[in-house]
Structures are given as structure tokens and as C-alpha cells.
Amino acid sequence: MTEQTEVSLIVGLGNPGPRYEQTRHNAGFWFVDALAREFGVTWTEQPKHKGWTARASTGGHEVWLLKPSTFMNLSGESVAALAGFFKIPAEQILVAHDELDLPPGTVRLKRGGGHGGHNGLRSLVEHLGSRQFLRLRLGIGHPGHRDDVVDYVLTRPSAEDRTAVERAVADAVEVMPQVLAGDLQRAMTALHSQRD
């Protein structure tokens, strides 16, 4: 069955400020920044939505982009504020985030599921009251032991890993027209067949 739910809000998860800008945990920010460049839109700080927003129009579809200015653990506050204000249901939200369980350079698209220990996703589920948002999972690899995860996600990737993640971001940007149109199956097929 082909899913046909249009996306009205694309969220990138990350931590604000220069200290975190280049860290693995900010892969979601890297994605929405690339998307903003692709769409030719600029970010505006929106205190009432606790984040930076941009409004894009592409292929006849209007979409909000959002980077929460809360820290990762409170991302849901920002997303719920904007989604609530514009009456955007969870099903029409796409959340881009770093994914420990995928190697750098891998990108996957899925709907729903648990938070997998990711504090940003945990906050979203809590504040939206739903798990049915889409997830764009950007692989960053795993340090090998769970005790090393916090330090790992809050440090910069190697040059090789960064290049791989940026390649995955570019692949994801490429399928966004299908995602925005609600043709998720086509987008998933294109993404999941790349570089496997």
C-alpha cells in the first residue's frame, strides 16, 4: 500500500550554539540547513516557537522547516509549539535525527516506532502525544559501547565520517519532493537502494 500523507513540517534535531554545531548529534540540523539552501530560504528566530523557522514552497507544496533552539532533550517543546499553532498533525511531521544504529553514509526513512534511547525523539513523543511522525534517520555509527555514547554524539566525526553523513544528507534532500508530495514508498525505495 502506498502511503499518501503530505508533509507540512520538517524538523531537524540538534543542539544550539557554536559548541555543538559540528557534532554528530547535530546531523538533523545539517539536513534542514541543506534543505533550506536547496529551497533558497533563510532562517528566522521565532521565540514563541522556541526555534528557528523557514517557510518553503516547492512543487506546489508549502512546508515549514524548524530547528529547535531548546537543547536536544527539550526538542518536543518547540515542535509541539509550532505544530499546535499551525494545527499540523504528527502524521504530517518529518523529523531528521542522528542514528547510532546505522553506519555513517546510511539514511533511512520510516514512520513511527520507539525513541530508541534518543532524547530528542523521546521529548517529541512526550509533547506530541504520538509516535506517528516520520523519521529521517541519518547514520552516525556507534562507538561500540553504550557508556561511550554521550561523549561520542557530542564530538565531531572524523573527516571521512562527516563526508559520508553529508553524502547521506544530499541523498535525502534529493527525495524530498516525493516526501512532500506524500509518495513515501517511492522516496523510501530510492533512499534505501542507495549505497547498500
Cβ-based neighbour number of residue 129 at 10 Å: 10
Cβ-based neighbour number of residue 163 at 10 Å: 13
Q: What is the DSSP string of 117-172?
A: T-HHHHHHHHHHS-S-SEEEEEE----SSGGGHHHHHTSPPPHHHHHHHHHHHHHH
| Cα-Cα end-to-end distance for the chain | 24
Give the Cα separation of 182 and 8 in Å (integer). Answer: 10
Among candidates 134, 152, 131, which has minimal Cα distance to 143? 152
Greatest alpha-carbon span in the chain: 46
C-alpha cell at 150: 554521550
Strands of 61-68's sheet in order across? 44-46, 51-58, 61-68, 9-12, 93-99, 134-139, 107-111
Annotated catalytic residue 61 = no
List the catalytic residue out of 25, 97, 118, 127: 25
Active site residues: 25
